[in-house]
Amino acid sequence: MKFALLFFMLPFFLGSAEAAEDHKSHAKAHAGAYAGQQARTIKSLSADDIAELKRGGGWGLAKAAELNGVPGPAHLLELKDEIGLSGAQISAVGGLYERMKADAIEQGERLIALEGALEKHFRDGTITDEVLRDSLQSIADARQRLRYIHLSTHLKTPAILSRHQIFHYNKLRGY
């Protein structure tokens, strides 16, 4: 009798397991690309983004210069021995780097704060079309200023270097 009951109930149990697996697969297939990011303090910035901005890092904003052969000061200082920078060049590049970093940290903090303010409006339900437009414009302005800080510093490095040093820098960087 127990065997007959088990035999009778087996398709039900198997069907339930298959249904549960189908449900998991279905839910996973429809999970958004942002799944898991809802716990971020500022949804539009990862912890790595925030850390990079707070330390004045490049955040990929100077790729137009870097990948077109115009060196950046941070990487020049990292490669100073391989490139053969003189003491005067190290000093000049170091000065550019310190000014850029200080300006980038200040502007990065501003960008983080603006993104945080936009986040708060969405979280609190106080977002309006006007607030959204103003917030986005402020964020765009801050991002533009941050990018300018990085790119304009790249523009200053070729005057400090020889053509050979620039060529060697690009070769070492894999460009």
Q: What is the pLDDT of residues 153-169, one digit of tens each?
A: 999 999 999 999 999 99
H helices present in the chain, as ranges: 2-29, 47-54, 63-66, 73-78, 80-83, 87-124, 129-156, 163-172
pTM value is 0.80
Q: What is the pLDDT of residues 117-150, one digit of tens each?
A: 999 999 999 999 999 999 999 999 999 999 999 9
Q: What is the pLDDT of residues 31-87, one digit of tens each?
A: 788 888 888 899 999 999 999 999 999 999 999 999 999 999 999 999 999 999 999
**Residue recorded with tokens 């960087």:** 173
